[in-house]
Amino acid sequence: MKSILQPLILIGILTAALATASAQPADWPDFSKPHSDIPVHDPVMAKEGDTYYLFCTGMGVGVWSSPDLKQWVRLDPVFSEPPAWAKEAVPTFRGHIWAPDIYHHDGTYYLYYSISAFGKNTSAIGVASNKTLDPESPDFEWVDHGKVIQSYPGLTNWNAIDPNIVEAKDGTPYMSFGSFWGGLKIVELAPDLISLVEKEPEVLPTIASRKTDPDAPNPPAPGNNPVDAGGNAIEAPFIFRHGDYYYQFASIDYCCRGAESTYKMIVGRSKTVLGPYLDREGKRLDQGGGTILLEGDENWYGVGHNSAYTFDGTDYLVYHAYDASHERAIAKLRINKIAWTDDGWPTVGELVTPEEEGR
């Protein structure tokens, strides 16, 4: 989950005040019915055989499974005990793991996950692997490989959370990540997928930021945002290959505030994985650009931390949104099909809904 505000969820402080939703275009997706009633933050997915598996923020990393993207069953978390290395890296870590990503390569699933200290970029990304996601398989066993990358206050002007793995057209694996501070970063993974090519990076290329001037200091932190984080409110990169382009999705503004959440998704694209990524107006994402893909309304408040997939020839947008019908406006799972414009830009398409809506 989003680094600087996650503890609000841990202690259940989600404001109940109603937000005033801005008017949306006539063709905006219908948010009037929930995808399901499962509470999630930061959902990512993989499909093995006929089963979809969802991983999300939670104690030990939350896991769900579904045969159809509609009805879900909760499974045991990835970790029954906190990873041994994590306490040393982040002394305040208590087992609540944020913002995972799942990546399949050469018969092995790699789960990247985030740990962080509240309001600081004392953060790290770890990785575990498994031969299968099916807990009934005799080959099922999560093996933790420890830390991939860490950020340090005063040393790195980036935050090592929210990992996403993308494979370039030439087969080179990269990890994008980041939240607030200096924006979203990208780094090359070693072929083993559990370490970096650059072993101790301090300066990394920026692929997205809300700052129009990369050399300018971060804007001040608004509201109850920790001062250390600054006001560069962008996080959760996800790079999705489609056609000739890499599409970078990201979330801007503020999550985790219930009815006060202002979270929204942006997108840009590039013909190279390292960018620069440009929005529909030609503005660079690393200089404050980003086309709004989706934002909340009166039924679902802030929407964001999305992932994107192609399953059986159909593209999907997976994300969380804050349910206005719930007394605490908790975050729930949402899945839409992705539609593409004639000039190759993603739009939010048909909502995937349970067969029985319930409400």
**Continuous H helices in 25-77:** none
- 42, 101, 260, 297: the catalytic one is 42
Instruction: Give whole-number Cα distances, 152 to 57, 120, 286, in Å.
Output: 22, 8, 22
Asked if omega into 276 is within 30° of 0 (cis), the reply is yes
Phi-psi region of 289 (alpha: psi -120 to 50; beta: other; left: phi over 0): beta
Task: Tell me how long the chain is.
Answer: 359
Count other C-beta atoms under 10 Å from residue 27's C-beta: 7
Burial of 12 (0-12, 13-18, 19+ CB in 10 A): exposed
170 counts as catalytic:
no
Helix %, strand %, coil % of the chain (to 5): 5, 40, 55
Phi-psi region of 95 (alpha: psi -120 to 50; beta: other; left: phi over 0): left
**Continuous H helices in the chain:** 6-10, 84-89
Q: What's the start-to-end Cα distance of the chain, in Å?
A: 28
- 144, 235, 253, 260: the catalytic one is 235
88 counts as catalytic:
no
Asked if residue 70 lies in contact with residue 352, where contact means CB atoms within 8 angstroms, the answer is yes
Residue in the structure block whose two tokens are 């505030």: 257
Among the listed residues 36, 85, 74, the one whose alpha carbon sits nearest the alpha carbon of residue 359:
36
With a CB cutoff of 8 Å and minimum separation 6, the contacts of 345 are 267, 269, 280, 291
Tell me which residues are annotated as active site.
42, 235
